Amino acid sequence: MPGKIFISYRREDEPGEVRSIHDRLAQAFGSDAIFMDVDSLVAGVHFGKELEAALDKCAAFIAIIGPKWQELLDKHRGQGEDDFVVAEISSVLKRNILVVPLLVRGAKLPRSDIVNPKIFS
């Protein structure tokens, strides 16, 4: 595989499912072919810039969406917080990278108006 598989998820929403999906993908493609923030980023680096660099190298983007995904987004926005998950999705859509939404535990697709912020700079 020429690029990496980027796993995007919300830490507060189904972390056990995310680890299981990561491990299965690593079995199939090798752990070097998978980007997941907790495994791939080093403490102390500029989080946004490192994510942007990883997105530059990805060939496929898996957005893992659990049942609380939209609720957590609404909470972050209501508190005026930047949302890195939405920024990741916005970034890959602009790059024409394959995006695979993966719904877990009965989740529903989020509203289509989520994609817009640019917070990597």
The confidence band for 9, taking pLDDT boundaries of 50, 70 and 90, is: very high
In a domain, 29, yes or no: yes
Q: What is the CATH number of the domain that holds 84?
A: 3.40.50.10140
In a domain, 120, yes or no: no
- pLDDT at residue 42 in the model: 59
The residue range of the domain holding 105 is 4-114
- pLDDT at residue 62 in the model: 96
The pTM (predicted TM-score) of the whole model is 0.83
Domain count across the chain: 1
Half-sphere exposure of 84 (CA within 13 A, CB side): 16
In a domain, 57, yes or no: yes
32-66 pLDDT, tens digit per residue, is 999 887 666 556 666 678 888 889 999 999 999 99
Residue 116 has pLDDT above 80, yes or no: no
Q: Higher pLDDT residue, 106 or 41?
A: 106
- pLDDT at residue 115 in the model: 57
In a domain, 55, yes or no: yes
In a domain, 121, yes or no: no
- pLDDT at residue 121 in the model: 38
In a domain, 24, yes or no: yes
In a domain, 102, yes or no: yes
In a domain, 91, yes or no: yes
Q: Report the chain's terminal Cα–Cα distance, integer Å.
A: 29
- What is the spatial order of strands in the sheet that 34-35 belongs to? 34-35, 4-8, 58-65, 98-103
Q: Where are the alpha helices (DSSP H) in the chain?
A: 15-29, 37-40, 47-56, 69-78, 84-95
